Amino acid sequence: MYNAGKVIIFIVVLILFFTIPMWLNLGRVEAIPKPELPKDKAKCIESKEYMRAYHMKLLDDWRKQAIRENKHVYVAKDGEKYFISLQKTCMKCHNNKEKFCDSCHNFVVTHQDCWSCHIAPEVAEKWQ
Amino acid sequence: MAIKRRDLLKLGGLTLIGTAASAAVGGVYTKPQEALKGSRWALAIDVVKCKENRATCGLKCVEVCHSLHNVPSIPDKKKEIKWIWEEKFEHAFPEHEANHYLNEKLHDTPFLLLCNHCDNPPCVRVCPTKATFKREDGIVMMDYHRCIGCRFCMAACPYGARSFNWIDPRPFIAKVNPEYPSRMKGVVEKCTLCYERIAEGKIPACVEACPAKAIVFGDLRNPNDEINKILKERLAVRRKEELTTYPSVFYLIG
Ligand code: SF4
Ligand code: SF4
C-alpha cells in the first residue's frame, strides 16, 4: 500500500470522528433513559419484553381493530381483557407522558405524533 | 460439506416465517359484551317535540355532543367546526323553496343537522385514503390517523356535514374531555354517531341529552326496534332524497 502511514492515520481519525457521540457520552450513565413506570402496577398488558419490542405495533393494531373493525376489546396473552383506548386504558396507568413516553422517545429522537390529537393526562390537567 | 442452494433457500424461508410468527404473537381482539348490536343505526328526530321544547332546552344535544367530543368553538364562521347544529327548514330542505305553504308552516321549526350516515355515502366513495369508510353497522366512520386533509369528502357530501380544521383547534376548546382526543390542523371531522359510546353499550350522547326525548336512536334492520314503529306511524322525511344517498337520519314532521 502506498502511503500506508497516512492512510491508516486518516482512517483512525475518521473512525474517531464518526464515533464522537459515543466518546462525548462515555461514562455518562444518566444519558440512558429511565422511563417512570406506574408504581402500583406489577405488570403491563403484556410482558415487559413484548411491550418494549412491539408497543408501536400493538398500538397500531389497536387502532385498526377498534376504529376499522369495531373490535374494542383486547384479550392479552394471559387472558385478561382490556378496553382499547390510549387515553382511557394506557394513560390511566402511565399517567405522565413526559416521564414515560418522552424519556425514551427523546433519547432515540423518534417523535411520535400521537399527541397532536390524543390528550396526555398532564396536558388535560393543565387545561381545566 | 457445501450447503446446497435449495437448502439455503429453505432455511431462509424458515427464518422469515419465524420472524413473522414471533412478531405476530400478540393477543386477540373481540367486541365488548355490552356493545349495542345493530346492522343499520339510524336517528329519528321529532321536530314537533323539538319545536315545543326549543325555548327551554338550551340546545342540550349540541352542547353535550360538542363538549364530549372536544369540538372547538371557533368564532370565525369560515373556520368553524360542527358535528351537530341547528338550521331553519328552508336551509335544511332548500329543494322546497318554491313551496311557500310548506315553508311558512315549518319556518319556525328547528331542524338539527348532522352527518346522515348515508347508506350510499358519496364521501366514502371519493376518499382516496379510506380514512372515511362505512362500518358494517351503518356508521360512516372517520379514521383521523389516515386523513390527509384533501377535502374531497367535503366536496362530495351534499349536506355540509363535514368540517375542515384550518387552524389548530386546541386553543378553541374551553373545557377538555380527557377521555376523548381532539383533532389536529389539516384533518376533516364530523359526527361518528358516538361509536365509542355504542361500544360501551350507551346510546348516542345527543339522544340521551335531549330533555324532550325528541331524538330516537335505533336499528332500521331490526323490525322489532321502536324506531321502525315510529317511522311507520309518523310522517318522516329525509334530506335530499333525490340524490339517492339514503340518509339514516329521519325528520318526523307530522
Ligand atoms: S351526510 Fe355527508 S358526511 Fe355523512 S355519510 Fe352522508 S355524505 Fe358522508
Ligand atoms: S379529507 Fe380526509 S377523510 Fe376527506 S377525503 Fe380527504 S383523506 Fe378522506
User: Using only C-alpha atoms, what is the Rg of chain B?
Assistant: 23
Judge contact between B191 and B29, C-beta under 8 A: no
Which of B117, B132, B250 most suits a substitution to test ligand 1, by most atoms within 8 Å of the C-beta?
B117
- State whether the Cα torsion A70-A72-A77-A79 is positive or negative: negative
Please tell me the residue having the least CA distance from ligand 1 atom 7. B157
- The answer to whether the Cβ–Cβ distance between B32 and A128 falls below 8 Å is no
Joined together, the cell numbers standing for residue B37 give 348490536
- Is the pLDDT score of A124 beyond 90? yes
Nearest to A54 among B23, B31, B183 (CB): B23
Polymer length in residues for chain B: 254
Collect all residues from B whose CB is shorter than 8 A from any CB in A: 23, 25-32, 35, 70, 133, 135-137, 141, 143-145, 173, 175-176, 178-184, 195, 199-200
State residue B195's pLDDT score.
97
In this predicted structure, the answer to whether residue A32 has a pLDDT above a threshold of 90 is no
pLDDT for the residue numbered A128: 74
pLDDT at position A23 = 86
CA of B155 to the centre of ligand 2 (A): 10
Pairing relationship of beta strands B236-237 and B41-46 according to DSSP bridges:
unpaired
What pLDDT does residue A33 have? 82
Contact (Cβ atoms closer than 8 angstroms) between residue B176 and residue A124: yes
Residue A51 grid cell: 411491550
* Cβ neighbours of B126 (radius 10 Å): 16
Q: Which ligand is nearest to the CA of B189?
A: 2
- pLDDT value at residue A29: 67
Asked whether residue A27 carries a pLDDT value surpassing 80, the answer given is: no
**pLDDT at position B78, please?**
95
Residue type at position A46:
E
- Prediction ipTM score: 0.85
Q: What is the per-residue burial (b if ≥16 Cβ within 10 Å, else e) of B163-178?
A: bbbeeebbebbeebbb
Q: Distance from the CA of B113 to the center of ligand 2, in angstroms? A: 21
Distance CA B152, CA B164 (A): 11
CB of residue B43 inside a 6 A radius of ligand 1: no
pLDDT value at A109 more than 80: yes
Ligand 2 pocket check for B48: Cβ under 6 Å: no
Low-confidence ranges of chain B (pLDDT < 70): 1, 18-25
Residue B188, ligand 2, Cβ within 6 A: yes
Q: Is B79 in the pocket of ligand 2 (CB under 6 A)?
A: no
Tell me the mean pLDDT in the region A34-56. Answer: 90
- Which residue of chain B comes nearest to A90, CA vs CA? B179
- Domain ranges in chain A are 33-127
Nearest-CA distance from B149 to chain A in Å?
A: 15
> What would the pLDDT profile of A57-100 be if each residue is shown by its tens digit?
999 999 999 999 999 999 999 999 999 999 999 999 999 999 99
| Mean pLDDT, all residues of chain B | 94
DSSP code, position B3:
P
Please give the domain boundaries of chain B with CATH numbers for all domains. Answer: 34-252 (3.30.70.20)
Take residue B71 and report the three cell numbers written for it.
369540538
Copy the grid coordinates of residue B55. Answer: 325555548
Provide the percentage of residues in chain B whose pLDDT is more than 70.
Answer: 96
Residue B81: per-residue pLDDT: 97
Q: What pLDDT sits at residue B122? A: 98
Q: How many whole angstroms separate alpha carbon B78 and alpha carbon B107? A: 25
pLDDT > 90 fraction of chain A, expressed in percent and rounded: 70
Nearest residue of chain A to residue B139 (CA atoms) = A70
Helix H segments across B25-173? 47-57, 60-68, 89-92, 100-106, 122-126, 152-156
Helix residue ranges per DSSP H, chain B: 5-24, 47-57, 60-68, 89-92, 100-106, 122-126, 152-156, 195-198, 205-209, 226-233
